[in-house]
């Protein structure tokens, strides 16, 4: 049986090893980045849903407090229609939180209403909201129902009692779910603009808020995120929405009323940037690999042992020792030397491309600072080498108000402005990080606490007296600590810096707070 000659054997071996190794590296890099981006998006959606659920819960708490105050004023003027109307009109116009405000007697007669255009005063209510509130006779938020004017609405109510404790009726504030309302203000400015969206459901899975107003009132079945949030759970998962689109979903409940906030981003959008990056890497790597293979084919008829050594080294193509292995090959003739050079160049290019992926993996795309992952790698190295350093935990004061008042584009400019000031006031050896949202860290190696406090104060002053690019006044609060301290890990030091930051926030913001001095007992 004829045996394959050495030239073809080496060629086939080289072709298989180079192609499979490069493909495996490419696939492993893609999978690693893909999983990281998906996990990051799931967590971001979960956090965003939690924040919006908290804001919605705070709104209902505030609304109930407003109604409680007004309800206490109604009993003395219960038989004075003009004064009743003045109070409900004031309540509706005071914050524009409610679409309508009414006062209903215990027998169901509406004795005051605002706006007057509803023409409800003097009529009797038989709505679901009336029956729920009359039965409760305590502060109450109704389930969604269709009101007298065919509005899908909820009603926030507070009972009214006279001086003897007799139930007179209740004060009710209505929010129309299928018309512009306070929920649109709280939830409407979603921070994605790339196919992502936010929606809210009640305890029955009925849509309370959605970017498509025509879907409000629909009941969604079979959605695991909705089932989980109705059960009071907070979390994230990957699912297909009602249109079959693959989504990365975060969800959180509004505890006061049992609603659920769901934030979603299409998986394809999340991975779109990664796909472009991998195509760019392939554009650089594939031509070099093809050139290497052509070189191998060209000299395969002339080489023996040197070629075998080079082909054998490709089995460790992805290892850090690959370049050293190739360099040790004795290329005693011109063709072998050229192949050796081509393989070294291919290795260098591939490692450069992987290094570029790693750099983007540890860099925050908005500010250019080190992200949380990069920070953890640096701190792990410092902790293993007992590197002394100080920590500045920096947080932008009232950043949510910037986003709410000026939009997220303005908020992004503010984040970039803070990053610029941090760079301006730092040394080349300092590590500047964005932990997420409006939270930053400055890691100052070989810097004692007193010097770190001076840096923190300079940063605070620079932010307070330097105008941001869009003219929005921005201040920061800073917590400062140092490491190592006796019996303390790096993680504990970061926690101490956060606690100091919270003290700065609690003392009025726009200030620097150090970690309390260590005390010892004898």
In the chain the domains, ranked by start, together with CATH numbers, are 9-26+271-360 (no CATH), 372-514 (3.30.70.270)
Q: Does the pLDDT value for residue 522 go beyond 50?
A: no
Q: How confident is the model at residue 354 (pLDDT cuts 50, 70, 90)?
A: very low
Q: Does the pLDDT value for residue 250 go beyond 90?
A: yes
Length of the chain: 522
The Cα 64–Cα 140 span in angstroms is 8
Q: What pLDDT is attached to residue 357? A: 45
- 146, 168, 196, 177: which is closest to 73 by C-alpha? 168
What pTM was computed for the model?
A: 0.50
Query: Which residues contact residue 353 at a Cβ distance below 8 angstroms, ignoring those fewer than 6 apart?
Result: 281, 284, 285
- Partner residues linked to 391 by β-bridges: 443, 481
Per-chain mean pLDDT for the chain: 83
Express each pLDDT in 115-166 by its tens digit. 988 888 999 988 888 888 989 899 999 888 888 777 788 899 999 999 899 9
Q: How confident is the model at residue 34 (pLDDT cuts 50, 70, 90)?
A: confident
CA distances from residue 276 to 196, 208, 268, 282 in whole angstroms, order as listed = 20, 37, 12, 10
């Amino acid at each position: 049986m004829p045996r394959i000659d050495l030239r073809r054997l080496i060629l086939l071996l080289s072709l298989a090893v180079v192609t499979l190794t490069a493909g495996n590296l490419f696939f492993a890099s893609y999978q690693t980045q893909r999983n990281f981006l998906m996990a990051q998006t799931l967590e971001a959606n979960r956090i965003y849903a939690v924040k919006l659920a908290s804001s919605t819960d705070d709104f209902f708490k505030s609304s109930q407090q407003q109604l409680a105050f007004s309800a206490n004023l109604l009993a003395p003027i219960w038989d004075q229609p003009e004064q009743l109307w003045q109070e409900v009109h004031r309540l509706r116009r005071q914050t524009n939180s409610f679409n309508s405000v009414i006062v209903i007697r215990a027998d169901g007669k509406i004795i005051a209403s605002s706006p007057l255009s509803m023409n409800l005063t003097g009529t009797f209510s038989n709505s679901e909201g009336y029956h729920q509130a009359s039965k409760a006779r305590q502060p109450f938020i109704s389930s969604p129902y269709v009101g007298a004017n065919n509005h899908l609405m909820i009603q926030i109510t507070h009972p009214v009692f006279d001086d003897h404790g007799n139930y007179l009726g209740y004060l009710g504030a209505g929010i129309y779910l299928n018309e512009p309302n306070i929920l649109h203000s709280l939830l409407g400015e979603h921070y994605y603009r790339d196919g992502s969206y936010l929606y809210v459901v009640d305890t029955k899975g009925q849509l309370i808020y959605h970017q498509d107003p025509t879907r409000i009132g629909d009941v969604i079945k079979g959605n695991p995120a909705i089932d989980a949030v109705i059960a009071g759970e907070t979390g994230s998962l990957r699912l297909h929405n009602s249109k079959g689109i693959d989504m990365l979903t975060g969800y959180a409940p509004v505890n006061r009323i049992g609603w659920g906030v769901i934030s979603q981003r299409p998986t394809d959008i999340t991975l779109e940037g990664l796909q472009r990056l991998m195509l760019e890497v392939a554009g650089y790597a594939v031509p070099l690999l093809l050139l290497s293979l052509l070189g191998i084919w060209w000299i395969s008829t002339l080489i023996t042992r040197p070629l075998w050594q080079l082909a054998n080294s490709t089995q460790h193509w992805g290892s850090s020792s690959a370049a050293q292995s190739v360099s040790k090959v004795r290329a005693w003739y011109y063709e072998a030397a050229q192949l050796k050079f081509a393989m070294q160049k291919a290795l260098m290019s591939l490692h450069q491309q992987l290094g570029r992926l790693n750099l983007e993996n540890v860099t925050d795309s908005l500010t250019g600072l080190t992200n949380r992952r990069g920070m953890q790698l640096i701190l792990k190295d410092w902790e293993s080498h007992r590197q002394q350093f100080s920590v500045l935990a920096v947080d932008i004061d009232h950043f949510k108000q910037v986003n709410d008042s000026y939009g997220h584009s303005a908020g992004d400019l503010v984040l970039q402005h803070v990053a610029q000031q941090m760079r301006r006031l730092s040394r080349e050896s300092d590590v500047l990080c964005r932990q997420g949202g409006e939270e930053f860290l400055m890691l100052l190696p070989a810097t004692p606490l007193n010097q770190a406090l001076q840096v923190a104060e300079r940063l605070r002053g620079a932010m307070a007296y330097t105008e941001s690019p869009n003219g929005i006044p921005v201040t920061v609060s800073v917590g400062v600590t140092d490491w190592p301290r006796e019996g303390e890990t790096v993680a504990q030091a970061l926690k101490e810096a956060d606690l100091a930051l919270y003290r700065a926030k609690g003392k009025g913001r726009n200030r620097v707070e150090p970690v309390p001095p260590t005390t010892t007992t004898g």
